[in-house]
């Protein structure tokens, strides 16, 4: 961690050193900008095992970006290649029928893409965070934490952020990577469209007797998806969606009872299963910022869009934001534009909003269609999934989308420098 030079003017100040903020710092540095990143929390706290129990499925395009940024080498030993995804209408563990996956409706196989690459890589967020921070230090990027932004000034020609301790940091551009409740977005008066789902995701790690062979399972129970995502070793990360009330009850269960509930939902197709480590819960909602840019301000990651985790795409979208912003700012600068001006930033908004909004709404529809036990909807979605699964081009399209290889690709996602 280095101290800020009060007289130093950065090209970009990134507010928020979460996964997206750190990746944005590296992306803009790769584009030749002078960047600094600040976070409200001490770095050690964000690296502690208890801080974030989630693991993220990194699309293979995101992994290529990590290779280009020099992050992949540090993360590889903790990353599990994702070779297949099996999606099914799960069978309700109601005591009469067992838990576990129902007949498969959709099967995505990396072999079908003929790229020789997996569909993606699964990595625990804490490992990804550490790999990003180490790379940031290697690159000599200014990272200040704990440093809570308390005041924002977006006026021309330079923006300024006042920290809680009174220090002031100046930059041509503020990048808001400060999460779903983004203080920077609020200070700029940017409104959001948002709704809550009556769902909470419980996240835990499961240890199982038999290997997962890189296969992810997602099955749909009436309250929402139950995802089993392969981690290194004979372990899987669980994203178990329930109603908020049921989730609260599950969170309060003693370990032994939780283990029993878990194995009922999970099923026995990987032998005996037991939870390992703590459990976390995340209330789920969708939120989209109405604008992504203002003079001297740009939004990335959850500050711009927070989506349902049903497709495991939130962080991937944030990485695409970071890569697209690097391209747009590098082109703007080459054209002689002031990188904090709205004219330089608007191409970013046009590019990213379309992708983010379509995925946010897609996940919303998917969740509404599948997270229920509606007698009329069940056969319709069964036919829809069976058709998609049976038709090769449709299946390959979805597999490519999961891999992040659709739409216009920024340089970093192609493994190139901006
Ligand atoms: C259950 C679940 C499972 C998920 N699984 C996946 C998956 O498999 N794949 C995937 O791609 N995505 C997944 N996601 C989504 C993904 O986790 C998020 O999209 C991603 O973590 C957002 O990162 P972020 O950096 O934008 O925001 P955050 O992680 O919220 O980071 C914001 C940062 O800003 C800092 N901050 C806030 N205010 C201030 C301030 N005033 N001053 C300074 N710093 C500040 C905070 O301390 C924090 O570090 C999942 C989400 C959930 C809930």
267 pLDDT band, cuts 50/70/90, is confident
Q: What is the mean pLDDT of residues 4-15?
A: 83
Nearest CA to ligand 1 atom 47: 40
| High-pLDDT (> 90) share of the chain, % | 69
| CB hemisphere CA count around 404 (13 angstroms) | 32
At 365 the pLDDT is: 84
- 53-67, 293-307, 371-385: segment of lowest average pLDDT: 371-385
Helices (H), 139-201: 183-187
Q: What is the mean pLDDT of residues 2-21?
A: 83
- Helix axis angle for 342-370 and 377-390, nearest 10°, is 120
Q: How is residue 272 written in tokens?
A: 């005996």
- pLDDT digit string, tens, across residues 12-27: 999 999 999 999 999 9
Q: What is the mean pLDDT of residues 42-48?
A: 87
Q: How is residue 121 written in tokens?
A: 């890589």
- pLDDT digit string, tens, across residues 82-117: 999 888 876 544 433 445 666 667 788 888 777 778
Which residues does a 6 A CB cutoff place in the pocket of ligand 1?
A: 15-21, 38-41, 54, 56-57, 148-149, 177-179, 183, 201, 203, 239, 282, 301-302, 309, 312-316, 318
At 397 the pLDDT is: 55
At 50 the pLDDT is: 83
> Vertex 277, ends 205 and 91: CA angle to 5°?
35
User: φ and ψ at 341, to 5 degrees?
Assistant: -80, 155
Choose the residue to mutate in 315, 321, 360, 413 for probing ligand 1, maximizing ligand atoms within 8 Å of C-beta. 315
- 242-251, 252-261, 290-299, 363-372: segment of lowest average pLDDT: 363-372
CATH of domain 9-414: 3.50.50.60
Query: What's the CA gap between 66 and 55, in Å, rounded?
Result: 16
Percent of residues in the chain assigned helix, strand, coil, to nearest 5: 40, 30, 30
- pLDDT digit string, tens, across residues 151-178: 999 998 999 999 999 999 999 999 999 9
Please tell me the total number of residues recorded for the chain in this structure: 418
What's the whole-number average pLDDT of the chain?
Answer: 89
pLDDT value at 207 more than 70: yes
Judge contact between 339 and 329, C-beta under 8 A. yes
Task: Give the H/E segment covering residue 376.
Answer: none
Q: How is residue 416 written in tokens?
A: 């190139």
At 404 the pLDDT is: 61
Cis ω before 397 (30° cut-off from 0): no
**Tokens 């590019």 label which residue?**
351
Choose the residue to mutate in 41, 43, 44, 56 for probing ligand 1, maximizing ligand atoms within 8 Å of C-beta. 56
Judge contact between 108 and 399, C-beta under 8 A. yes
């Amino acid at each position: 961690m280095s101290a800020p030079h009060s007289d130093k003017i950065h090209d970009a100040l990134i507010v928020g050193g979460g996964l997206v903020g750190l990746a944005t710092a590296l992306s803009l540095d790769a584009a030749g900008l002078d960047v600094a990143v600040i976070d409200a929390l001490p770095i050690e706290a964000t690296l502690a095992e208890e801080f974030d129990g989630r693991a993220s499925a990194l699309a293979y395009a995101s992994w290529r970006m990590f290779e280009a940024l020099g992050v992949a080498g540090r993360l590889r030993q903790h990353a599990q290649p994702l070779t297949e995804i099996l999606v099914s209408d799960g069978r309700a563990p109601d005591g009469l029928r067992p838990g576990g996956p129902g007949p498969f409706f959709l099967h995505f196989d990396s072999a079908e893409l003929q790229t020789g690459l997996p569909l993606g890589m699964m990595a625990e967020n804490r490992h990804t965070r550490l790999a990003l921070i180490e790379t940031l230090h290697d690159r000599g990027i200014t990272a200040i934490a704990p440093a809570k932004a308390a005041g924002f000034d977006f006026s021309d020609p330079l923006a300024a952020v006042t920290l809680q301790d009174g220090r002031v940091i100046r930059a041509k551009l503020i990048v808001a990577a400060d999460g779903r409740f983004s203080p920077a977005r609020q200070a700029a008066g940017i409104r959001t469209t948002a709704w809550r789902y009556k769902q909470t995701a419980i996240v835990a790690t499961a240890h199982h007797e038999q290997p997962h062979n890189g296969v992810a399972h997602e099955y749909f129970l009436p309250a929402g998806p139950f995802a089993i995502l392969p981690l290194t070793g004979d372990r899987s990360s669980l994203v178990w969606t329930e109603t908020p009330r049921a989730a609260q009850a599950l969170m309060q269960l003693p370990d032994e009872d939780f283990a029993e509930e878990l194995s009922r939902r999970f099923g026995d197709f990987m032998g005996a299963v037991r939870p390992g480590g703590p459990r976390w819960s995340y209330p789920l909602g969708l939120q989209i910022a109405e604008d992504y840019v203002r003079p001297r301000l740009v939004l990335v990651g959850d500050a711009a869009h927070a989506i349902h985790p049903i497709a495991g795409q939130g962080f991937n979208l944030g990485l695409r934001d970071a890569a697209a912003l690097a391209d747009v700012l590098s082109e703007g600068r080459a054209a002689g534009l002031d990188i904090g001006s709205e004219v330089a930033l608007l191409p970013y908004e046009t590019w990213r909003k379309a992708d983010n909004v379509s995925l946010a709404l897609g996940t919303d529809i998917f969740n509404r269609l599948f997270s229920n036990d509606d007698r009329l909807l069940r056969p319709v979605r069964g036919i829809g999934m069976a058709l998609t699964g049976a038709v090769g081009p449709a299946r390959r399209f979805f597999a490519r989308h999961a891999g992040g290889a659709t739409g216009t690709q920024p340089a970093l996602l192609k493994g190139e420098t901006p």
